[in-house]
Amino acid sequence: MGVRGLVTFIEKHPRIYRDVRFRMSRLVIDGANLLHLLYFDSGVYLIKTGVYLIKTGVYLLNTGLDQNHGGEYAAFEELIERFITTLRNCGVSPFVVLDGGSDYTDKKLDTVTQRAVDRIEKAHRAAWDDSEQNILPQLAKLMFTQTLARLEVPMAQCYAEADQEIAALANEWRCPVLSNDSDFYIFDLPAGFLPTSHFQWKAVEQSGSQSYIPCKNYNTRSFCILINIEHELLPTFAALAGNDYVKLQKMERPIRWTQFCPASDGIPSRLEGLLCWLRDFHQPEKALEAALGLMGELGTKRKKEVLQSLYLGMEEYKLPSSTLMRFFVDGVAPPFPTFEGVKGLIPDWTRLPLTQARLTSDILDVLLLQRNDLSIPVDHGDMASINLTSRPLRQVMYGLLLGKRRQLVNERDRDGLQLKVIPVQPAVRGVARQLTLESLDQAESSQRLQVLLDALGVTEASLSRLPPQLRLPVAVTCYWLQRAQPRPDQRLLKALLLGLSNGDALRQRAASQIQNKCYKQKLDVSVVHAFNQWQGCLKDSVYLNQLLGRPLEEPQIARLYEGTLVHDLVHQMRTGRKLKHFLKSDRSSVRQYSAMMAVINQFHCQEASTSHNQKTVTPPRRQPLEDLTANLQQLFLLCEDEMEVSSTVSVQEDLHLEDLLSVKTRYRAKKRNNRSKNPEVARKEERRGDVVLW
């Protein structure tokens, strides 16, 4: 929600806060707020062993993570780990609560629309002059939830906006809330509210043997005493001030609250004037009636509409019983809301994965509103939306969700610098026709996998020699190479695969890249656009994979992609620098690079053959591997081996890595070349266990 201007007003009255030493407590955390805080506002330091946070005497590098090159996910993971470790060292038990889908009544649609319009302008400005506009990278939220899950931090995703659920949980547990959302200055919380702007988790102090976090605590009682208004009038104050649901400033005759400010030398404040005016009232109803009188002549119908809007705004600050407490204690997901028209639209089996954040909340907007608000990353406004590339993947997801309902989904996306609504037809074809949403969780794993593979245009056999964590990213890369516009060149592909092949070492290498500021060359918007398309394809593929019950292993984003790194690799290749140093002494990464390139080359070989033999753009249904004849198996193994050997040679030539190969490795490469000429010998060697990837 958010009360416009309230945080600024509170900061001008520091006596409202109370200094505390926070430790040994539960803490309910506003997940969306923490995500933005850590990515945009945390000072970051880099030393040889990784990424660290503000410490006295350590050199300050910057005040946040890179925003324009597609995400510094490895460094972001380090920040999250540091934050959680700091809390636990102080005896604090964090409980993170995340926003879910849009409100079913759409009462916040105007606010959401305006924010999307603003984000389009900011994203274009960031791409135009490489400025920081606080545009969150596309995979940041996914990486955030993955990291919290790995750290075993209790986490819940709401079905709609989280503010009221956060406040209700903190009220029942009698513990504070950590956020910077101005609405928490209005909720009556027994243990108060800890603004993240005053939560000094990077400057932990000691008291005896106990560690604590210096911070400030806000309590509504202290606010009302200092300002001298009735405590019951706080929700009325928020509604009249204007929040995400109430827009009194758009009235035909908006109230000039500054006229009620006391005479002083300072600039009159709208909120101060409103608070001064409210001092004369003791009941919300009387205050609302008087406020209507200040709006001038209103017709009966208009007056009723305004009054209803104000009461609706006040209702948002009432604290219901927590629906999440049982989930955190017993692991039981809350029931779905019972609004009229909602019943039966959302299968019961989705409740638990949605609450666990193992299923994207986007599906709720599709099911309830037939709408999907798409991400708007940093990108030049003259270029087409990056979401066009991954639309066929979303169409498959829409088909699974809506089934026989045959409804279009309105995608809200960028068209130039305008926010447009594009009706999109769900796609139901192939194996997906045999599945229904109500029983999707019970479908055969082979069926669910085939739906995903068909959407990406790859086969299970082509991915079989890759490690499980790389199968989905490589399948996405094949899809991206086929559909991205303009078509990615070889430098982009090589840079991407080098990043994918680097695994855990990506964290240290990313730290080194940032520390040396190698990525600070001028932002190349064409490279940004290409990698944005890849990230969009990966995100939508991960969401489709989640809906299908994860038939492929979900990749860990922090160990998969580092935007600043791949941009720098493209720059190095374009300026003629050798990349030998990047994989030096890391033979496993070279093997992975080779294996991925082999799969991609094989994919291109198959696609070229299909295009040559058929004029239709729809790929033929692929025959399962177990049904192939012995001759087809032999042909497949021959093609696969030839591609792998070709790829191995290509790696050495392209990256100048031949000096990394030992005599034994070169012998094996030669041996595999001989195997490719005699598949029967190759199969005998495989049975003996002699075959290796490199």
Model confidence pLDDT, tens digit, residues 480-502: 999 999 999 999 999 999 888 87
Q: Return the percentage of the chain with pLDDT > 90, whole number.
A: 61
pLDDT at 553: 97
φ/ψ region of 389 (left if φ > 0, alpha if ψ in -120 to 50, else beta) reads alpha
- 305: Cβ–Cβ under 8 A, 6 or more apart, which residues? none
Q: Which CATH superfamily is domain 6-226 in?
A: 5'-nuclease (3.40.50.1010)
Q: CA-CA distance, 204 to 520, in Å (whole number)?
A: 33
Phi, psi (degrees; rounded to nearest 5) at 251: -65, 160
- 569, 500 contact by CB (below 8 A): no
> Would you put residue 667 in left (φ > 0), alpha (ψ -120 to 50) or beta?
alpha
What is the signed CA dihedral for 112, 114, 117, 123, rounded to 10 degrees? -70
What the block records as the tokens of 249 is: 């400033």
Domain with CATH 3.40.50.1010 in the chain: 6-226
**Which residues have C-beta within 8 Å of that of residue 514, sequence separation ≥ 6?**
46, 61, 66, 72, 75, 564
- Pairing relation of β-strands 177-179 and 25-30? parallel
Asked if 311 and 326 touch (Cβ cutoff 8 Å), the reply is no
State yes or no: pLDDT of 45 exceeds 60.
no
Per-residue pLDDT at 189 exceeds 70: yes
pLDDT over threshold 50, residue 52: no
Of 181-190, 202-211, 675-684, the least confident: 675-684
CB atoms inside a 10 Å sphere around CB 130:
17
Q: Which has more confidence, 384 or 588?
A: 384
DSSP per-residue string spanning 361-408:
THHHHHHHHSEEE----S--TTSPPTHHHHHHHHHHHHHHHHGGG---
Tokens of 207: 């008291």
CA dihedral 406, 410, 415, 418 (to 10 degrees): 160
Of the pLDDT bands very low, low, confident and very high (cuts 50, 70, 90), residue 514 is very low
Model confidence over 162-182: pLDDT tens digits?
A: 999 999 999 999 999 999 999
Mean pLDDT of 446-474: 96
DSSP codes of every residue in 427-493: ---GGGGG--GGGGGGS-HHHHHHHHHHHHT--HHHHTTS-HHHHHHHHHHHHHHHH-SSPP-HHHH
d(CA 281, CA 353): 47
Task: Pick the more confident residue, 82 or 208.
Answer: 82
Average pLDDT over residues 139-162: 97
pLDDT on residue 198: 96
Ranking 328-332, 334-338, 473-477, 531-535 by mean pLDDT, the lowest is 334-338
Would you say residue 119 has pLDDT above 90? yes
What are the Cα distances from residue 230, in Å, to 3, 19, 135, 185, 540?
Answer: 18, 24, 40, 15, 49
Contacts of 191 (CB under 8 A, 6+ apart): 25, 170, 174, 175, 176
Q: 3-class DSSP state for residue 145?
A: helix
pLDDT tens-digit profile of 56-73? 233 333 457 889 999 989
Determine the residue type at 300: T
In this prediction, residue 626 carries a pLDDT of 40
- Segment 303-322 shows an average pLDDT of 90
Q: Among residues 384, 385, 394, 399, which one has the least CA distance to residue 431?
A: 399
State the pLDDT at residue 104: 81
Q: How far apart are CA 685 and CA 690, in angstroms?
A: 5
Residues 265-284: tens digit of each pLDDT: 678 889 999 999 999 999 99
pLDDT range class, residue 510, cuts 50, 70, 90 = low
277 in Cβ contact with 247 (< 8 Å): no
Phi, psi of 523 (to 5 degrees): -60, 125
**Cβ atoms within 10 Å of 645's Cβ, excluding its own:** 19
Average pLDDT over residues 41-69: 49
Burial code of 469-479, b = ≥16 C-beta within 10 A, e = fewer? bbbbbbbbbbb
Residue 339 pLDDT level (bands cut at 50, 70, 90): confident
Which of 316-330, 440-454, 572-586 is predicted with the least confidence, judged by mean pLDDT?
Answer: 572-586
Is residue 98 scored above 60 in pLDDT? Answer: yes
Average pLDDT value over all residues in the chain: 83
Reduced to 3 states, what is the DSSP secondary structure of residue 211? strand
pLDDT at 247: 61
**How crowded is the C-beta side of 27, counted as CA atoms within 13 Å?**
28
pLDDT score of 648 more than 50: no
Residue closest to 28 by CA, chosen among 174, 219, 216, 186: 174
Query: For residues 610 and 602, what is the distance between their CA atoms, to the nearest angstrom?
Result: 12
Residue 621: per-residue pLDDT: 45
Confidence of residue 208 (pLDDT cuts 50, 70, 90): confident
Phi-psi region of 345 (alpha: psi -120 to 50; beta: other; left: phi over 0): alpha
Helix H, strand E, coil C: the string for 100-137 is: CCCCCCCCCHHHHHHHHHHHHHHHHHHHHHCCCCCCCC
Interval 397-431: pLDDT, tens: 999 999 988 799 999 999 999 999 999 999 999 99
Of the candidate ranges 86-100, 117-131, 572-586, the one whose mean pLDDT is the lowest: 572-586
117 by Cβ neighbours in 10 Å (0-12 / 13-18 / 19+) ranks as middle
Contact 215, 36 (CB under 8 A): no
pLDDT tens digit string along 232-250? 999 999 999 986 666 665 5
